[in-house]
Amino acid sequence: MTHSVTQQLTLALSKGRIFEETLPLLQAAGITVNEDPETSRKLILGTNDPSVRVIIIRASDVPTYVQYGAADFGVAGKDVLLEHGGEGLYQPIDLNIAKCRMSVAAPADFDYLTAVRQGARLRIATKYLLTAREHFAAKGVHVDLIKLYGSMELAPLVGLSDAIVDLVSTGSTLRANNLVEVEHIMDISSRLVVNQAALKLKRERLQPILDAFERASQRISA
C-alpha cells in the first residue's frame, strides 16, 4: 500500500496578541508564517511548510471553526472557550500565553461590597454572559446582565450599568476610566484547541506539533 498524501493542517488564530504570542510556539515546531496579518489583508496565510496554513479570524470565532473542522486546531482564550462551551473540542494544552484575569470592576465611588452585602440587584455589563451569570449565581448575588460586544469600561460611566465583568491585564484601561477592580473571578490564559475528528485522523501529523507547543509553553511559564 502506498503512503497517504501529506495531511493538510489548518490552524485558526486571531490577530493581535494571540497571533504574536503563538509565533514562538510555531517556531518551536519549525513553522514560520509567510505573512504578517497586521499588514496583509489575506485571511489565509501560508507557512514555510506547504502542508500547514493559518487562517485569521475573530478571537471568539476560533472555537467555532475548530468545532466544525474548518480548522484542525486553534488557539483561544479561556474566556472565549467558557462562553463557547467547548463542544467538539479537545483541549490538551494550556499554552500560558495572552494571560490576564477576569474581574468585576466598578466606578471608584460605587460601594460594591456594601451593595452586595445588602442584597441589592446589580446591573452588570459584560461580553461574558455565561461566566458572569455563573459567578454571581454562586455568590447568591442578584444581577441583571447586559450583553455588550466591547468597550465595557464605558458602561458604568454613562449609567448603563453599576459594574462590569471584563478582562484586565495591566489595569491601565480601568485606571484611565476611573474604575477599580472589586473582585477577581479567575485567571485567564490561552489554550490549544483541537478538532476531535482531526485528532484521530491526523494524529501522526498533529502530535509532533502539539508536543513542540507543549514543551515551548512550559519554557514560557518557567
User: Residues in the site for ligand PRT, rule: CB under 6 A?
Assistant: 14, 16-18, 58-60, 77, 79-80, 98, 100, 150, 166-173, 188, 190
| Sign of the alpha-carbon dihedral angle for 109, 112, 118, 119 | positive
* 11 alpha-carbon distance from chain centroid: 15
The set of residues, in sequence order, having a beta carbon less than 8 Å from that of 82 and lying 6+ positions away, is: 128, 130, 131
What DSSP string runs through 56-101?
E--GGGHHHHHHTTSSSEEEEEHHHHHHH--TTEEEEEEEEEEEEE
Residue number with CB closer to ligand PRT (105 or 122)? 105
- Minimum Å gap between C-beta 141 and ligand PRT is 22
The least CB distance from residue 54 to ligand PRT, in Å, is 15
Residue 177 or 196: the one with the smaller Cβ distance to ligand PRT is 177
Pick between residue 117 and residue 175 the one whose CB is nearest to ligand PRT: 175
Smallest distance from the beta carbon of 188 to ligand PRT, in angstroms? 5
Q: Cβ neighbours of residue 107 under 8 Å, at least 6 residues apart?
A: 156, 157, 178, 179, 180
Least gap, CB of 44 to ligand PRT (angstroms): 18
Minimal CB distance to ligand PRT: which residue?
77
Q: Which is nearer to ligand PRT, 80 or 116 (CB)?
A: 80
Q: From the CB of 9, what's the least distance to ligand PRT, in Å?
A: 22
The alpha carbon of 114 is separated from its chain's Cα centroid by a whole number of angstroms, namely: 32
Rank residues 39 and 170 by Cβ distance to ligand PRT and give the closer one.
Answer: 170
